[in-house]
Amino acid sequence: GVGKTVVKDLKPEDITTISIADKEATLTLAQKDEKWTIAERDGFAAKFDDIKKLVTSAVSLKSLRQISASKKQYGRFELLDPADNETNTGTRVEFKDSQGQVLKSLLLGKKGSANASANAGSPFGSSDNHRYVLADGKVAVVAIDYSSALNEVSANPADWLNKDDFLKVEKIKSVAVAHPNSTDSWTLTHGKEGEDMSLADAKPDEKLDSSKANSAGRVLGVPSFDDVASKSAKPEEIGMDKALTATIDTFDGYQYVVKMAKKDEDHYMSITASGTRVPQDDEGEARTPQPDETRPREPGKDEKPEDSERLDKEHAESLAKRIADREKTHKDTQAKLKTDRDKEFSDNLAKLAKLEGWTFKVSSYTFDAIYKSRAEMMEEKKEEETKGAETTTPILPALPPLPTPPAPTPDLAPTVVKPAKPADPKKVVTSDIIKV
């Protein structure tokens, strides 16, 4: 009936194993050393919050109504066991005790909406708000919403991995990537926090790409992982036999050694972390004096001379005590700051130690910023420069000889015309005799 408890007599404290199966996969969540683990992932930690939510939802499940249906009708509601059927199957969830005995079994079936017909014309369709459940041999309809743990119960082990305690690299000081061919290896360093990264041992003809360098300086800042590889997987099966090694040092004192590999379209990485915390500047800073510590005592309006010496002494003693108290408070604050940071550093290393020995399947962008050769970290040559370097200067054909100019005409002496001498009147010119 309406409001009846669907899962009866199930105590959360008795549950030590949860088995989930659908037509695609099988999952076993088991308590080990008081922590939940995933059997299909070699005992990797499971996300406790999701397990708690599933158990809480199951024990508090109330029915909207009961359905009278025979076993032959279970397929209509997608309530057939996935172990025995291929179609119209549901998701089987079994809660077991420490002896492996099944405390309660559920089959989660078809989802639907009570307002499906009313929302048939909606461009958004109808949202599922109920689901068929088989428990104790009875079919019930239960209410669900998008946030319900029983809305999507996955049998995929990757969906239950605890990803909260993964590494987060901050304040990178240097990144060194080692390749099998040493000429492909490279190291980037930060002189100070906030500065651009620079290439160590740069050659005269090398120009680091600043954008790639800055991306490398932020690598693994917000990483996650998709899955963990089986511990029985051979290195060559996941590409780790040809892994590149990145050594990352931080200003805080951490050192991360990350092995990175690609296999077909998949990306894998393993992690080890170590280090000694580097004290920060604020842990050794001297206290800043307050203005009242240097301000002289102001004599009272009616202060008598004989009282001045006594009042000056009292003021000096009071001021000395105030300064001493402030110095102690400052030192205590710095000591606590150092202790807290030491503990945080130590706790983080302990957390990171749990990641050692595992190989993580990650997305391509997780380490692509440093999965590069030395040449790939440099600026790309401009197309014009490349063409110019590859093009041979053409040889021009020989020009015809220039015409020889005519030889210059030699300068002639100028002809001087002299005026005729006047005729001699006494001389007879033959041409003047008139022949008769």
* Average pLDDT of the segment spanning 47-68: 91
Within a domain: 259: yes
Q: Domain check: are 143 and 41 in the same one?
A: yes
Is the pLDDT assigned to residue 434 strictly greater than 80? no
Question: What pLDDT, on a 0 to 100 scale, did the predictor assign at position 318?
Answer: 93
Q: Domain check: are 130 and 211 in the same one?
A: no
Is the pLDDT assigned to residue 300 strictly greater than 80? yes
Q: Domain check: are 185 and 328 in the same one?
A: yes
In total, how many domains does the chain have? 2
Within a domain: 418: no
CA-to-CA dists, residue 24 to 20, 83, 90, 108, 318, angstroms: 11, 10, 11, 15, 78
Question: Among 131, 160, 189, which residue terminates a domain?
Answer: 160
State what percent of residues in the chain have pLDDT above 70. Answer: 83
Helix (H) or strand (E) holding 238: none
Beta-sheet strands, E only, within 74-137: 91-96, 102-112, 130-135
Q: Which long-range contacts (CB under 8 A, 24 or more apart) does 242-245 make?
A: 242/180, 243/268, 243/270, 244/177, 244/178, 244/179, 244/371, 245/177, 245/178
Q: How confident is the model at residue 433 (pLDDT cuts 50, 70, 90)?
A: very low
Question: What pLDDT, on a 0 to 100 scale, did the predictor assign at position 304?
Answer: 85
Is the pLDDT assigned to residue 61 strictly greater than 90? no
Within a domain: 293: yes
Within a domain: 420: no
* Average pLDDT of the segment spanning 156-163: 97
Question: What pLDDT, on a 0 to 100 scale, did the predictor assign at position 127?
Answer: 60
Q: Domain check: are 94 and 155 in the same one?
A: yes
Question: What pLDDT, on a 0 to 100 scale, did the predictor assign at position 62?
Answer: 86
Please answer whether residues 155 and 27 qualify as being in contact, where contact means their C-beta atoms are separated by less than 8 angstroms. yes
Q: What is the mean pLDDT of the chain?
A: 86
Give the range among 87-96, 136-145, 347-356 with minimum mean pLDDT.
136-145
Is the pLDDT assigned to residue 12 strictly greater than 90? yes
Is the pLDDT assigned to residue 428 strictly greater than 60? no
Is the pLDDT assigned to residue 270 strictly greater than 90? yes
Q: Domain check: are 24 and 154 in the same one?
A: yes
Q: How confident is the model at residue 5 (pLDDT cuts 50, 70, 90)?
A: confident
Question: What pLDDT, on a 0 to 100 scale, did the predictor assign at position 117?
Answer: 44
Residues 5 and 2: their CA atoms lie apart, in Å, by 9
* Average pLDDT of the segment spanning 194-217: 95
Please answer whether residues 150 and 108 qualify as being in contact, where contact means their C-beta atoms are separated by less than 8 angstroms. yes
- Which residue has 């090398």 as its token pair? 206
Cα 238 versus chain centre, distance = 22
Q: How confident is the model at residue 191 (pLDDT cuts 50, 70, 90)?
A: confident
Q: Considering only residues 115 and 148, tell me which one the structure prediction assigns the higher pLDDT.
A: 148
Q: Considering only residues 104 and 306, tell me which one the structure prediction assigns the higher pLDDT.
A: 104
**Ramachandran area for residue 9 (φ above 0: left; ψ -120 to 50: alpha; else beta):** left
Question: What pLDDT, on a 0 to 100 scale, did the predictor assign at position 430?
Answer: 38
Which range has highest mean pLDDT (46-50, 64-68, 427-431)? 46-50
Q: Domain check: are 363 and 289 in the same one?
A: yes
Within a domain: 413: no
Question: What pLDDT, on a 0 to 100 scale, did the predictor assign at position 125?
Answer: 43
CA atoms within 13 A on the CB side of 172: 26
Within a domain: 96: yes
Q: Domain check: are 185 and 155 in the same one?
A: no
Q: Domain check: are 177 and 94 in the same one?
A: no
Is the pLDDT assigned to residue 429 strictly greater than 80? no
Cα 276 versus chain centre, distance = 24
Question: What pLDDT, on a 0 to 100 scale, did the predictor assign at position 209?
Answer: 97
Residues 6 or more apart whose CB falls under 8 angstroms from that of 421 comprise none
* Domain extent at residue 25: 12-160
Q: Tell me which residue of 274, 272, 275 sits closest to 258, measured CA to CA.
A: 272
Each residue of 66-76: pLDDT tens digit? 888 888 999 99
Q: How confident is the model at residue 63 (pLDDT cuts 50, 70, 90)?
A: confident
Question: Among 96, 127, 160, which residue terminates a domain?
Answer: 160
Question: What pLDDT, on a 0 to 100 scale, did the predictor assign at position 68?
Answer: 85
State what percent of residues in the chain have pLDDT above 90. Answer: 64
Q: Which long-range contacts (CB under 8 A, 24 or more apart) does 328-332 make?
A: 330/287
Question: Among 113, 140, 160, which residue terminates a domain?
Answer: 160
Give the range among 89-103, 363-377, 422-436 with minimum mean pLDDT.
422-436
